[in-house]
Structure 1
C-alpha cells in the first residue's frame, strides 16, 4: 500500500515505524526538519519537509496514487484539512486524528465522510476507554473487547497456585464441562518469545498468558488462577491532562467515586468547574504526604496519566506500596512495557500503540473489523468478517489449512460469542477472532479474502 502520514510526532513516527517494517510504501510529511531527519535516518521511508495542508506538497507526495492518508499532527484543524484536501485530490481513504471527542460522538450526524474524512481517531479517547475496561476487568493486566463484549481478550500472569500450572491446554480444558475461554498466546517467564499454544502445550508458573473468553469465561479463569475480579469503586487519578479529564468524566458517569489530582492551580480550578461530581485536588501527586492525606490506602485503583512517564511509574509504585489493588500508568517509552510486571505495576498503556492498533486494521487485507497488538508480545489479534467466497466459509475449523503460528480464538455470530473448537463450522457473516505471529499474517489474510 502507498500510505502518506502527515505529522512526524510521537504517533506519526510510531506508525511510520510499524508500517515500514511491513514493507509498506510510506511518505512522512512534516514542517519540523529535525523530526524528519531522525525518521529518515532510522526508517526505510520517504520524507518530505513542508506543510501537509499545501496542495503542492500533497501532490509532491503523489496523493492521487495513495491508498491511505493518515493525518496525526498535533493540530486537529490541520488533520481535518489534510484529509479533506487528500480526498479531493484522489486518495482512496483518509484518517484524521482529533482531540475533540464530540466529533466522534456525532460523526454520523455531521457526516464527515461527505467532505472526505473516512475515519476519526482520538488517542486520548482510546486511552480513557482502555482504562475503564481495565477497571471493569480488575483481575487481568490486559483487556480488549470484541463486539461490545461478545468476546473479550484478557491477559494474566500464572502464579504457582493456578490450578492448571503443570497441565497441558487439553488437560486444563477438561476441568470444565463447557469451555468459555481458550489460550491464544503465551510468553514464558524471562523470555521474549511468543508461543501460539496447541493442545499439548504445557502451562508453566510465571507464564504471561492471553485468553479469549466468551460470557462467563472471565469468572472461570479467576477461579482457576486464584485471582479475583474485585469490584472497583474508589479511584484516584493523577494528572488533569485530556486523558485524565476524559477518564474522570467517564468514570463518574458510570458510578465510580473519583479523586483527581492536578498540579497546575488554574487547570485544577477549570477541572473542578467542568467536573462537579469529581473531587479535584490541587497538589503534587508525587508528594507521599499529600497522597496519605487524601486517603490513598482507601482507593481501589490508582491511575497516573501525567505527561511524564517516570512520574507515572513512580507514583503507581507508591500507590502499590500503600495497598492499592489496581495501578495503571501512562507511558510514552515502548521499552517500559517489558518492565511492567517485574516492577509491580498492573498495566501500562501507551497512546501511540492504541492509535496504531486502531489504524492498523485499515492496512490488513480481508474485511478486518477490529485489531490489536498484544502488549509486550510479538503477535496480533485480528477480527475478520467472513465473506461468502472466503476460503474458510462453510468449513469446519479442523478442515482449514491454518498455519501453526496462528489460532482461532473465537467467533461472534448474531451478536453472541463462541469459543470455536475444531468441530465448529464457519458461516458467511461470522466474525472470527484470530491470533497470529507476524510470519503467518499474509496466509491468514488470504484465508479470509
Structure 2
C-alpha cells in the first residue's frame, strides 16, 4: 500500500514509524527542518510543501496513493487536503480533527468534504477515559466485536493472589483468555507454564463480565463500581469526557478555573456539576470532598499541570488518577511517579488511523506498550489459515508469539480452545507481537 501523510507532527511520525517497514510511505510538511529530520530518521519519501497544493501532492506520489492521511495540527487544513486529493484521485482519505462539531457535520453530510473517514482526537480520548473508568486498576481497555469482547491490561502488585501463580492455575474464568505479559522491557506470550510476578502488566481478552470479575478478584481490593467522577480542566478533552460520562448516566463533577469557560460548560452539560475554582487549592479540594472521588481525570492544558493535579489528588486520598499527556516522552515518567493511567491523544489518533493500513479483514486494532504488541480483530474469510481447522492445528501456521483471545460468531462469544474450529465470517481477536504482525496478517 502507498500511504501519503500530510503533516509530520507527532501523529504523522507515529504513523510513519509504524508503517515504514511494511508500506511505501510519503510525507509532506511545510517545515524544512522537519523534512530533513524525516529523511534521516525514517524510510519515507519526505517532501517540503503545502499539502493543500495539488502539485505538491503529486510530487509526493498522489497518483499511486492508496491512502491519504491529513493529520496537521489544523482541522480546516486537514479537510481541505482531503478535498484537494479527491479532485484528482480516488485514494481513501482520512482527516484528523479535534473539533467534534466538524465530526458531527461530516457524519450528517454522509461523508462530505471529500473525507472518507474522520478521526476526532478529543472524542477518542474521552471514550478511552470512560472505558478505563469501568475497570478497576486497568491500564488500558478496548472493545472489540461491537462491545461483545473486551481487552484489558492490568498491572499486578505484590499483594495480588496472582503472584507466583502459573497461567494454568489462574485460568478459572470461562470466557476469558490470558494473552500476554509485559515484564519490564520484556514481552511474554502467556502460556500455561508462564508464572506471574509482582509488577507484571497482564493482558486479558474475554467477555466484559469475566474481565471485570478478574479485575476485582486478582487486581483490585475494591468491589465498589466507579460512581464519583471528577474531571479537572474544561479543555475540549475535559468537556468531551464529561459529556461521555453524562451519556452513560453519570453525573460527573468538573473543575474549571476560568469563569466564562465554566459557565459555558455548565450550560452545555446539565448533568455535570461545574465548580469554578483552582484544582490545586487544597482547602477547596477538602471542602468539596474530592478525596472521596473514585477517579480524577486531569485534562488541563499542559502536561506539567496534569502531573501536579494528579499527584495532589493522590495526596488527598483519591483512589485512581488518569492524566492526559501530549508529550509521549513523559508517559513512563507519569507512571513511574504513581499516576495510574497516562493517555496520549496522539497515540490514540495514530492507532485509529493505522488500522486502515491493515488487511481488508481487519476490523480494529489496539496498540499496547507503545506498539510492542497489538490486539487485532479480524473477520475470517474462506482462505484464512484459521478457517475450518482446530485451533491447535492451525496455530502451526502462525508464529509462536500469537494468542487467539476470543471469537465472535453471529453475536455470540466463543472462548477459543484447542479443538475450536473457527468458521468463515467469524470475528477473531488475537494478541500479536508487533514484530511478526505482517507475517500473521498474510495468513489470516
TM-score when scaled to structure 1? 0.92
Please, which of 122, 125, 130 is the counterpart of residue 124 of structure 1?
Answer: 122
Deviation at 1:371, TM superposition (A): 0.3
Aligned counterpart, 1:57: 56
How far apart are the structure 2 equivalents of 1:422 and 1:107?
Answer: 45
Please, which of 335, 341, 349 is the counterpart of residue 347 of structure 1?
Answer: 341
- Map 1:309-324 onto structure 2 (within 5 A): 309-324=303-318
Unaligned runs of 5+ in 2: none
CA deviation string 1:349-398 (max 9, x = no partner)? 11111111111111122510000101356101111110122222111110
- Map 1:401-420 onto structure 2 (within 5 A): 401-420=397-416
Aligned counterpart, 1:17: 17
Q: Counterpart of 1:361 in 2: which secondary structure?
A: helix
How far apart are the structure 2 equivalents of 1:181 and 1:409?
Answer: 8
How far apart are the structure 2 equivalents of 1:41 and 1:283?
Answer: 47
1:106–1:151 Cα change, 3 Å: farther
1:284–1:36 Cα change, 3 Å: farther
On the 8 A contact 1:12/1:72 being kept in 2, the answer is yes
CA deviation string 1:31-78 (max 9, x = no partner)? 233443443443332222222111111111121111110011222222
On the 8 A contact 1:194/1:377 being kept in 2, the answer is no
- Map 1:426-441 onto structure 2 (within 5 A): 426-441=422-437
Q: Counterpart of 2:169 in 1: which secondary structure?
A: helix
- Map 1:34-433 onto structure 2 (within 5 A): 34-105=33-104, 109-112=108-111, 116-173=114-171, 176=172, 179-188=174-183, 191-225=184-218, 227=220, 228=222, 230-376=224-370, 378-400=372-394, 401-433=397-429
On the 8 A contact 1:162/1:226 being kept in 2, the answer is yes
1:285–1:142 Cα change, 3 Å: same
Deviation at 1:340, TM superposition (A): 4.4
| Residue 2 in structure 1 maps to residue 2 in structure 2 | yes
On the 8 A contact 1:28/1:46 being kept in 2, the answer is yes
Q: Counterpart of 2:225 in 1: which secondary structure?
A: coil
Q: Count matched residues.
A: 441
How far apart are the structure 2 equivalents of 1:19 and 1:184?
Answer: 24
CA deviation string 1:111-158 (max 9, x = no partner)? 216x63221111111000000111122342221111232110111122
Q: Counterpart of 1:362 in 2: which secondary structure?
A: helix
How far apart are the structure 2 equivalents of 1:310 and 1:66?
Answer: 40
How far apart are the structure 2 equivalents of 1:413 and 1:276?
Answer: 40
1:110–1:389 Cα change, 3 Å: same
Deviation at 1:423, TM superposition (A): 1.1
On the 8 A contact 1:48/1:61 being kept in 2, the answer is yes
Deviation at 1:107, TM superposition (A): 5.1
Deviation at 1:193, TM superposition (A): 0.9
How far apart are the structure 2 equivalents of 1:377 and 1:75?
Answer: 26
How far apart are the structure 2 equivalents of 1:326 and 1:257?
Answer: 18
Deviation at 1:301, TM superposition (A): 1.2
CA deviation string 1:189-239 (max 9, x = no partner)? xx2111111121112222111101224312431354152353222221112
Unaligned runs of 5+ in 1: none
On the 8 A contact 2:228/2:294 being kept in 1, the answer is yes
1:6–1:402 Cα change, 3 Å: same
CA deviation string 1:2-49 (max 9, x = no partner)? 2111122332233223333x3532222222334434434433322222
Q: Counterpart of 1:89 in 2: which secondary structure?
A: coil
Q: Which deviates the most, 220-229 or 438-447?
A: 220-229
Aligned-CA RMSD value: 2.2
1:445–1:164 Cα change, 3 Å: same
How far apart are the structure 1 equivalents of 2:345 and 2:329?
Answer: 14
How far apart are the structure 2 equivalents of 1:141 and 1:424?
Answer: 30
1:447–1:183 Cα change, 3 Å: same
How far apart are the structure 2 equivalents of 1:256 and 1:304?
Answer: 18
